[in-house]
Amino acid sequence: MPQPRIAVVGSINTDIIVHSTRLPAPGETVLGGDWIMAGGGKGANQAVAAARAGARVTFVGRVGADLFGRESLARLEAEGIDTRCIIEDAHKKSGVALIMVGPDGDNIIAVAQCANGAVTPADVDAAADAIAAADVLIAQMEVPPDAVYHAIRTAHERRTTVLLNPAPAPAEPIPPEILGMIDYLVPNEVEAARIAGTTKLDAAVKTLLDHGVGHVIITLGPNGAAVFDESGRTDVPAYKVKAVDAVGAGDAFCGVLACGIAEGLDVLDAVRMANAAAAISVTRHGAQPSFPRREEICRLLNSKQRSCEP
């Protein structure tokens, strides 16, 4: 079958990660252990996850005209990702995320948006042909909402399937017209509640579906994912592993989910493939360095008698 095509509109960061015996309380200094520097940003993470799962990926975004920006572009290109729609912004620094990881894989993260905060609808327009050629558009909320929503409109008008990971949850409600253009909305429980304006999960999902979202896929961490559509709820359990670092697990899930959807997999099979990728990722340190390739995902799926073929 043809290689699935994915366009990603999103953020590119450099992650600086410190591992510690515990996470600090406000105002407290905790001496950590080792640290690593790696590629990050939800957009870049999801692009790498999709590429390693077998998709042909084009990225739309911005980096600074600095060392971190050049290294970020080199990392993406090494994964086979098309970076021609990434702008090197001479007026902004590249994005950076400072991450602390505790002994059980829990983490706290502070992000400096920098060039990511300068992504515009005009950047999306410049990449309209790439979005039209894609099977799936992936977007998140680490770049300005007006650029994200313009990308969703652009994809919808060109009949490209839309997957939005609304993380971090936007401060302002997502416009109802935009919700109606989203084929797959992939929040966690907290994000779903904030978007829908209610703390009850079932009520939140109903609100989102009533606004026209095709599928709402709630990520549940070690409990897997719950898929909601007009036919009801289906729970897809996680694979049981020993987690050492949960940084980027949600991004591994979204990128591989998009790849499965782009290939034409049934949504539940695509979620199972995404669960397998997330499970593998949490057994390793870092975000992008932890993401599995398709062969690893298939081995885990096949060990559970689940095919990863479209």
Paired residues of 67 in beta bridges: none
Helices (H), 139-263: 145-157, 176-179, 189-196, 201-210, 249-263
Helix (H, G, I), strand (E, B) or coil at 7: strand
Given a contact cutoff of 8 angstroms between Cβ atoms, the answer to whether 236 and 221 are in contact is no
Given a contact cutoff of 8 angstroms between Cβ atoms, the answer to whether 10 and 76 are in contact is no
Question: Does 66 participate in catalysis according to the annotation?
Answer: no
Given a contact cutoff of 8 angstroms between Cβ atoms, the answer to whether 221 and 104 are in contact is no
Closest by Cα among 238, 274, 280 to 257: 274
Torsion angle of C-alpha atoms 60, 66, 70, 73, degrees rounded to 10 = -20
Q: 219: Cβ–Cβ under 8 A, 6 or more apart, which residues? A: 186, 187, 188, 225, 250, 253
CA dist 164 and 8 (Å) reads 10
State phi, psi for 84 to the nearest 5 degrees: -65, -20
Helix (H, G, I), strand (E, B) or coil at 162: strand
Residues 15, 89, 135, 251: which is the catalytic one? 251
Catalytic positions? 251
